[in-house]
Amino acid sequence: MACRCDCPRPEEEAGRLLEGRGLTLALAESCTGGMIAARITDIPGSSAYFTGGVVAYDNRVKKNVLGVPGDQLAGYGAVSEQVARSMAAGVKRLLKADIGLSVTGIAGPGGGTQEKPVGLVYVALDGPAGALCRQLSLGGSRAEIRSATVAAALEMLCLYLLEGQCGQETVDSRQ
């Protein structure tokens, strides 16, 4: 998946923009299991803008650590726009960051249903210019889905910082 922000390494560009604007980032990862944090921390000096992350693989962590409402988990499921948005807002609040970025999805090979197939992923961001969420329908192996999710999340962050939003995704201001 090529980054639409025209930067060869979106984590590098996002880091430059975060640091330049004095903003901090926190991550809540489910299906990627810390892969986004690994890319962010691969950049020297990332401690200037990266506060940390939570790998919220289990719903108890989503609820008890990130503050995702139990009724959202029960009503919409862990892989939903509502939960992705709550994860982003929750990690932002928990780690006292300016921007919260989250991912939740079904990487497979099992776990999918007809309603929520393998490859369904939500990437959400909550920041000073508002919040947004993007739904992805990815194909491929588990590794390919996870890798594409990381790329999409980093692209969303980079574009959000460059443009204040990410093109065609739904944006709502919750300031």
How far is CA 162 from each of CA 15, 24, 156, rounded to the nearest angstrom? 12, 15, 10
Number of separate domains in the chain: 1
What pLDDT was estimated at residue 175? 27
Whether 68 is covered by a domain: the verdict is yes
Contact by Cβ (8 Å): 15, 43: yes
What pLDDT was estimated at residue 167? 37
| pLDDT exceeds 70 at position 7 | no
Whether 129 is covered by a domain: the verdict is yes
CATH code where residue 34 lies: 3.90.950.20
3-state secondary structure 85-151: HHHHHHHHHHCCCCEEEEEEECCCCCCCCCCCCCCEEEEEEEECCEEEEEEEECCCCHHHHHHHHHH
pLDDT digits (tens, 9 = 90+) for 132-170: 999 999 999 999 999 999 999 999 999 999 986 433 343
Contact by Cβ (8 Å): 5, 18: no
Using only C-alpha atoms, the chain has a radius of gyration, in whole angstroms, of 15
Q: Domain containing 104: what range?
A: 10-163
Alpha-carbon distance 103 to 133, whole Å?
10
pLDDT digits (tens, 9 = 90+) for 16-36: 999 999 999 999 999 999 999
Alpha-carbon distance 131 to 172, whole Å?
5
What pLDDT was estimated at residue 163? 84
Handedness of CA 159, 165, 170, 175 (dihedral sign): positive
Whether 5 is covered by a domain: the verdict is no
What pLDDT was estimated at residue 6? 64
Give CA angle at 60 (59, 66), nearest 5°: 90
Whether 38 is covered by a domain: the verdict is yes
Q: DSSP assignment, residue 25? A: E
What percent of the chain shows pLDDT beyond 90? 87
Whether 170 is covered by a domain: the verdict is no
Whether 169 is covered by a domain: the verdict is no
| pLDDT exceeds 60 at position 50 | yes
Whether 168 is covered by a domain: the verdict is no
Alpha-carbon distance 24 to 119, whole Å?
29
What pLDDT was estimated at residue 8? 74
| pLDDT exceeds 80 at position 111 | yes
Cβ-based burial of 166 (10 A; exposed 0-12, middle 13-18, buried ≥19): buried
Residue 3: pLDDT band (50, 70, 90) is low
Whether 47 is covered by a domain: the verdict is yes
